[in-house]
Amino acid sequence: MARNAKPINNAAGIAAATFVVAAVLLAFVGIGLRVETFSGLGPAEWQAIRFTILQSLLSAFLSCVLAIPVARALARRRFWGRAFLITLLGAPFILPVIVAMLGLLAVFGRSGALNDILAMLGISKISIYGLQGVVLAHVFFNLPLAIRLLVHGWQGVPAERFRLSAQLGFGRGMMFRLIELPLLMRILPGAFALIFVICLTSFAVALTLGGGPRATTVELAIYQAFRFDFNLGRAALLSLVQLFVAGGAAVLAFWLVPSISFGGGMDRMQRRWDGQVRGARVLDGAFIFIAASFLTLPLLAILTSGLRGMLEVPLIVWSSAWTSLWVALISVLVLLGTALPMAGWIATSRNGSVEVIGLLGLSVSPLMIGTGWFILIYPIANPTDWALPVTIAVNALMALPFALRILVPSIRETIQTYGRLSSALGISGFAMWRCVLWPRSRPRIGFAAGLTAALSIGDLGVIALFGDPDRSTLPLQMYRLMGSYRTDAAAGAALILLVLAFGLFWIMDYWGRRNAIA
Amino acid sequence: MKYLTFAAGVLTASSAFAESHAQPVLTVYAGDYFTSEWGPGPVIEKGFEETCGCDLQFSTGDLVPRLLLEGERTKADVVIGLTSDVTAKARTTGLFAPHGQDNSALTLPIEWTDETFLPFNYGHTAFIYNETTMATPPASFDALLAMPDDVKIVIQDPRTSLSGLALVLWVDAIYGDKSADVWAQLAPKILTVTKDWSSSYGLFTDGEADMVLSYTTSPAYHMFAEDDFTKKAAIFPEGHYFMVETVAKITGTDVPELADAFMSYVMSEAFQTVIPTANWSLPSALPTDQWPEGWAQLPLPEKVLFYSEEESTAVQEKAIETWRATLSQ
Amino acid sequence: MLSLNKIQVTQGTFELKAHFDVDAEQNVAVVGPSGAGKSTLVGAICGFIDLSAGLVMLHGHDITQAQPDARDMAMLFQDNNLFPHLTIAQNVGLGIRPALRLTGDEVGQVNDALARVGLTDFGTRKPSELSGGQQSRAALARALVQSKSWMILDEPFAALGPALRAEMLDLVAEVAAETKAGVMMVTHAPEDARRISDSVIFVADGVAHGPQATTGLLDNPPPALKAYLG
């Protein structure tokens, strides 16, 4: 863009970015105010750091490797219900963690369906606890992301390239070398780094499935330092370690990662000529079947146990669901209010490196932000009154890096394509957003909003730290039910949570894609 | 953005205003579980408000971190739910006033002399099993250690959970220097270590684990609330670690009379008789013959192990490190 | 001879029908309005688009069900003719054998083809280092080494300037004549058709009309073609 023809004003974007940086910095300041002693890291913390990196590497590696055959099969097979299956396979990524754990245990647990089958076959049981359990859960959450990125990549290969390959009679090896390998090289490093970062800050998974202190993650160590030892110095130090590792990987990820697209266009299908022999068909079918089973059986388990528990769900769960719903909706508004101006700024800036600011959300511990703000808010207001606003802000902050990844490419492309036309017509500033950017990016906006809503509604988040007995979110209420021996009702609450998360995602994504002109 | 946050703040704040009448307000800090619809909070709130002509408001969260964060400016008048293993840290805040109640009215299995933290319920750590799936439960802690490794136990992390902390103190109280060996023997039987009690217990009721670290009173819930008599606590002759929850008054309270009235209420029969079925634990100041029906028949340990605040503080760090180091191998 | 026997292609509500023969070693242009189905026609002939009815015959054999590489045809696309991560020589070599290691003889063949299209010494470069015209030449070199009996071109030089395009068309005609290959070329420029083609297939209103002599047809166009030519 020529400097004198900027189609949108960057002030709002810079303000939003400043807000994000300030939110994180202030939290550190808040904690810094109260740090009394800076103790170093003991063997337990080092072990946590090692384990966190190990499990993240393994989770990212397995998610990527397993995604290759599945994505390839999905990209080149046409079958009834394909588009629906691809949508369904994306579900675990937006599934609230505490809900997913129930489903995973029901399938892979010691008394789960899989072990029952193994027992019938006389095979010894497999254990979901320990490193393998943590990795299994992380693969469950992130395999869908890797599959989506790869399927999208495959569909981005120009049709002529497949025609050319067909015409030149490429065999499997040549298809791989000339089409698939470059594609994988382009997409996998970014997908790997992204999943690595997501797994680094994982908390709840390691809590239940870790199997013991061997499997302590950094986020868990931060939690312990805060809540039990009340050692703010160590918590801050661990947060910095996490910020450093996750931030480093995240910066890498976002230099490498392809733009995320889950939404429209997935059902468009290219005619393919490779892999038509029977062996390849059978193998592709098997990969699709295994992946579909792995990713959907836990969902099915949540559905069945939830339906059984539904009758026991007390009334208060519904009011919590209502609270969660509007917390999620406001989180979406806050997110869009922050992400859209930032995306506009990033899209028009000469290099996109400001997007790194958005990564703060992925790398920083929510607990740390919550505590920092608590310390700052306390002298001026009752933190309990601020529980939901802080939760909303943190939710938006956590979703920001994903939203930017989704929005920036679309806005950049729109400005490249229509920027000059708009300038010539004198469309700029808010009018540019209203007449050009918003309608052009609507599918992406809907997708980002849906993702934020789903992630927000399932997040236990900082609300537990601030606590307001009269106003609880659905995940918190679910924990309370579990803490009061009411596991059946908790299963019912889990189902409500699942329906809300998927429902919100679907509605917003649908709104984005409805009548969208590609 | 700012406006939205502000609007959300107003939304929540206004509801808080709506609740405050002309009546004086007693602010009680409690753990999150306490005030849930199924916790003891609502019953206690109702009971106390009937006598005090005041408005009791619970504020939930992590008690000790919160008090440490808030310091002198805390809005709490009373804090309820501090276990004896965190009272030392709580005491360092210097925020608490003497409870003013007569310790001799307590009916605890141990002698209680603390003038600041007043017990309101107690229990013991115990491993719970399902007798339909475990025909021969271990008869002692030693027998537990000697069980085959395919018997799976789920426990809580002593660094994040008070019941988990009680377990390492329990082991330390029985085995002392040999604790590391005990953990090494337990390690293969430990299915997983969860952050909190509820996750552990959920795994147990889902059939994931054969035994769960919980309380001697846990079977009572199943018996009296669910008519389920299959869940039992394994009682060990080596003794069980004693767990007590206390309530304490904040020195800087602006409603000292109400706070005192609440401390008296805690010791009253009205309060004590609701504790068993509201908190699923044993009342601190109620003779056994006045316990609700069936409760006196609950199998309870004859020997009680307990570390005073000072002892607990002295061994905690080492006991947790032994646990961590052994289970990490 | 290439025969289209009552073929029909259906894509949603769009339908294209064709029933005609084209003689071997002919240069044929495919013209018609935008969206009439020119690309669909050549896509169907090359096996990239499935027929809903009819047969495609080549040299008297039914190739309707044959895979694209089993048809005696080489196709040049509008763009993406070259793999960006391979050298020009490797790209051309793929036309001889779909492998990246070639024998000495085969390397010689590649070099001859590159020399024929004026790209001597360009073999070690990547496509991105070449101009648009040079990239077209490289794709043509590959079609050359494929030595098929038909070269099918789908608006291959649309991005080039008039002089360069004329030069490329002449090169195509020369190369085809040397290898005794027929050329079927989709174009929207009548002057391209006049320049190299003996006959013209006119596509309009869902029908591809059989080839007619270029000069006669363009000088005395029927009403539909006249409307298109303006």
Which pLDDT tens digit goes with each residue over A174-187? 888 888 888 888 78
Confidence of residue A467 (pLDDT cuts 50, 70, 90): low
- What pLDDT score does B8 carry? 39
End-to-end CA separation in angstroms for chain A: 23
Instruction: Give B50→chain A minimum CA distance, Å.
Output: 20
Contacts of A229 in chain B (CB under 8 A): 159
Q: How far apart are CA A464 and CA A455, in angstroms?
A: 17
CB < 8 Å to A178, chain C: 83, 86, 94
CA distances to A70, A135, A143, A191, A304 from A91, rounded to whole Å, are: 16, 18, 10, 17, 17
How many angstroms separate the CA of residue A51 from the nearest CA in chain C? 39
CB spacing of C49 vs A164 below 8 angstroms: no
Q: At what angle are helices B2-19 and A387-424 packed, to 10 degrees?
A: 150
DSSP B110: S
**From first to last of its 329 residues, what are the pLDDT tens digits of chain B?**
333 333 333 334 334 444 445 688 999 998 877 877 778 888 899 999 998 889 998 887 778 878 887 788 788 999 999 888 788 888 988 999 999 898 889 999 988 989 999 999 999 999 999 999 898 999 999 999 999 998 999 999 888 788 899 999 999 999 999 999 999 999 999 988 888 888 888 889 888 899 999 999 999 988 888 888 899 999 999 999 999 999 999 998 999 999 999 999 999 999 999 898 888 899 999 998 889 888 888 889 989 999 888 888 889 889 998 998 898 87
Burial of B3 (0-12, 13-18, 19+ CB in 10 A): exposed
Cβ of B61 within 8 Å of Cβ of A223? The answer is: no
Total domain count for chain A?
2
Domain co-membership, B236 together with B247: no
Structural domain contains residue B14: no
Task: Indicate whether A513 belongs to any domain.
Answer: yes
Task: Give the right CATH number for C1-72+181-230 from 3.50.50.60, 3.40.640.10, 3.40.50.300, 3.20.20.70.
Answer: 3.40.50.300
Chain A hits for C94, Cβ within 8 Å: 168, 174, 178
What pLDDT is recorded for position A509?
85
Give the mean model confidence (pLDDT) for residues A208-227. 79
Whole-angstrom distance, CA of residue A178 vs CA of residue C84: 10
Domain ranges, residue A182: 42-232+284-307
Cβ neighbors of B53 (< 8 A, separation 6 or more) are B23
Q: How much is the pTM?
A: 0.79
Q: Rounded to a whole number, what is the distance in Å from the CA of B82 to chain A's nearest CA?
A: 13
Alpha carbon distance A414, A410 (integer Å): 6
Q: How confident is the model at residue A374 (pLDDT cuts 50, 70, 90)?
A: confident
ipTM above 0.90, yes or no: no
Q: How confident is the model at residue A62 (pLDDT cuts 50, 70, 90)?
A: very high
Strand-pair partners of C76: C153
A399-414 pLDDT, tens digit per residue, is: 888 888 888 888 888 8
Return d(Cα B253, Cα B259) in angstroms, integer: 8
Task: Answer whether A388 sits within 8 Å of B194, measured CB to CB.
Answer: no
Residues 6+ apart with CB under 8 A from A169: C67, C69, C70, C98
A20 and A131: one domain?
Answer: no
- pLDDT band, residue C21 (cuts 50/70/90): very high
pLDDT at B1: 33
A438: exposed, middle or buried (C-beta count within 10 Å: 0-12, 13-18, 19+)?
middle
Do B44 and B100 have their domain in common?
A: yes
Question: Are B48 and B83 in a shared domain?
Answer: yes
pLDDT at A113: 83
Mean pLDDT over each residue of chain C, to the nearest integer: 88
Neighbours of chain B (3+ CB pairs under 8 A): A
Confidence class of residue A36 from pLDDT cuts 50, 70 and 90?
low
For residues B162 and B131, membership in a common domain is answered with yes
Residue type, B16: A
pLDDT for A436 beyond 70 = yes
CATH number of residue A113's parent domain:
1.10.3720.10
Predicted confidence (pLDDT) per residue in B116-128, tens digit: 999 999 999 999 9
User: CB count, 10 Å around CB of C132?
Assistant: 13
d(CA A377, CA B12): 15
User: Same domain, yes or no, for B90 and B217?
Assistant: no
Is residue B204 located within the same domain as residue B321? Answer: yes
For A214, the closest chain B residue by CA position comes to B328
Structure letter (DSSP) for residue A122: T
Q: What's the token pair of residue A515?
A: 């009548």
H-run or E-run covering C20? strand C14-22
Q: Residue B19: what pLDDT?
A: 47
| Domain boundary residue, one of A275, A307, A339 | A307
CB contacts, 8 Å: A34 with chain B? 69
What six digits make up the tokens of B218? 């846990």
Tokens of A162: 């497949």
The alpha-carbon gap from A273 to the nearest alpha carbon of chain B, in Å, equals 48
Residue A259 is assigned to a structural domain of this protein: no
Q: Copy the structure tokens of residue B246.
A: 């206390």
Maximum Cα interatomic distance, chain B, rounded to a whole number of Å = 63
CA atoms within 13 A on the CB side of A390: 32
Q: Name the phi and psi angles at C123, rounded to 5.
A: -55, -35
Domain that holds residue B31: 23-122+243-297
Based on the fold, state whether residues B207 and B278 are members of the same structural domain: no
Residue A498 has pLDDT above 80, yes or no: yes
Would the pLDDT of A256 be above 80? no
Among A45, A97, A110, A391, pick the best mutation site for testing chain B contact (most B Cβ within 10 A). Answer: A110
- What is the model's pLDDT at position A139? 94
SS3 B211: strand
C-alpha–C-alpha distance, residues A35 and B40, integer Å: 35
Amino acid, res. A351:
N
d(CA B155, CA B326): 15
Q: Mutate which of C11, C48, C76, C150 to disrupt the A interface (most A C-beta within 10 Å)?
A: C48
pLDDT of residue A275: 66
Same domain, yes or no: A429 and A299: no
Which residue in this structure is represented by tokens 């957003």?
A433
A246 in a structural domain: no
Residues contacting residue A377 through CB under 8 Å, at least 6 positions apart? A383, A386, A390
B194 within 8 A of B153, measured Cβ to Cβ: no
Per the structure block, which two tokens stand in for A500? 């809300």
Q: Contact at 8 Å (CB) between A130 and A58? A: no
* B184–chain A Cβ distance below 8 A for any pair: no
Please tell me whether residues B211 and B76 are part of one structural domain.
no
**Do B101 and B250 sit in the same domain of this protein?**
yes
- CB < 8 Å to C81, chain A: 160, 164
Task: State the SS3 of chain B.
Answer: CHHHHHHHHHHHHHHHHHHCCCCCEEEEEECHHHHCCCCCHHHHHHHHHHHHCCEEEEEECCHHHHHHHHHHHCCCCEEEEEECCCHHHHHCCCCEECCCCCHHHCCCCCCCCCCCCEEEEEEEEEEEEECCCCCCCCCCHHHHHHCCCCCCEEEECCCCCHHHHHHHHHHHHHHHHHHHHHHHHHHHHEEEEECCHHHHHHHHHCCCCCEEEEECCHHHHHHHHHCCCCEEEECCCCCEEEEEEEEEEECCCCCHHHHHHHHHHHHCHHHHHHHHHHHCCEECCCCHHHCCCCHHHCCCCCCEECCCHHHHHHHHHHHHHHHHHHHHC
Q: Which strand (E) or helix (H) includes residue C7? A: strand C2-11
Per DSSP bridges, beta strands B118-130 and B282-283 are antiparallel
Domain parsing of chain C, residue ranges: 1-72+181-230
Q: Which of B201, B209, B208, B194 is nearest to A114 (CA)?
A: B208
Distance from CA of A166 to the nearest CA of C (A): 6
Q: Does A108 touch chain B (CB under 8 A)?
A: no
Confidence at A465, pLDDT banded by 50, 70, 90 = low
* Record: contact A483-B196, CB cut-off 8 A: yes
Q: Rounded to whole angstroms, what are the CA distances from C32 to A231, C154, C168, C183?
A: 78, 13, 21, 17
Q: Which residue has the tokens 């008297």?
A: C60
Please report whether residue B6 resides in a domain: no
Distance CA B220, CA B226 (A): 9
User: pLDDT tens digits for C93-134?
Assistant: 888 887 777 888 889 999 999 998 889 999 999 888 888 889
pLDDT of residue A264: 38
Average pLDDT, chain A: 81
User: Which residue do the tokens 């020399």 mark?
Assistant: C115
The pair of three-digit structure tokens given for residue A488, joined into one six-digit string: 């059946």
Q: How many residues does chain C have?
A: 230
Are the Cβ atoms of C75 and A177 closer than 8 angstroms? no
Q: Are residues A207 and A353 in the same domain?
A: no
Average confidence (pLDDT) over A49-77: 91
Mean pLDDT of C72-87: 83
DSSP per position, B53-92: SSEEEEEES-HHHHHHHHGGG---SEEEEEETTTHHHHHT
Give the three-class secondary structure for B144.
helix
Q: Which residues of A touch C85 (CB under 8 A)?
A: 182
Neighboring chain A residues of C80 at a CB cutoff of 8 Å: 158, 160-161, 164
Q: Which residues contact C126 (CB under 8 A, 6 or more apart)?
A: C84, C85, C86, C87, C88
Distance from the Cα of residue B219 to its chain's centroid? 16
One domain, residues A17 and A125: no
Cβ–Cβ < 8 Å for C130, C161: no
Does residue A255 belong to any structural domain of this protein? no
CA–CA gap between residue A391 and residue A387 (Å, rounded) = 6
Spatial contact of C206 and C15, defined as CB atoms under 8 Å apart: yes
A275 touches chain C (CB under 8 A): no
Q: How far is CA A253 from the centre of its chain?
A: 14
Is A480 close to B194, i.e. CB distance below 8 A?
no
- Answer whether C192's CB lies under 8 Å from C158's CB: no
> Which pLDDT does position A6 carry in this prediction?
59
What pLDDT sits at residue B2? 35
Q: How many domains does chain B have?
A: 2
The β-bridge relationship of strands C2-11 and C53-58 is antiparallel
A178 → chain C, closest CA residue: C83
Q: Which two tokens stand for residue A187?
A: 């997409």
C33's torsion region: left (phi>0), alpha (psi -120 to 50) or beta? beta
> Do B191 and B48 share a structural domain?
no
Does A470 sit within 8 Å of B62, measured CB to CB? Answer: no
Comparison of pLDDT for C182 and A464, the residue scoring more: C182
Tell me the two tokens of residue A240. 């910095």
Which residues is B128 bridged to in the sheet?
B212, B233
**First-to-final CA distance of chain B:** 49
- Contact flag A168-C67 (C-beta cutoff 8 Å): no
B323 and B225 together in one domain: yes
The CATH number linked to B34 is 3.40.190.10
Strands C150-154 and C182-186 turn out to be parallel
Is B80 among the domain residues? yes
Cα separation, A355 vs A434, whole angstroms: 23
Distance, CA of C151 to CA of C89 (rounded, Å): 20
Alpha-carbon distance A1 to nearest alpha carbon in chain B (angstroms): 29
Residues B145 and B111 in one domain: no
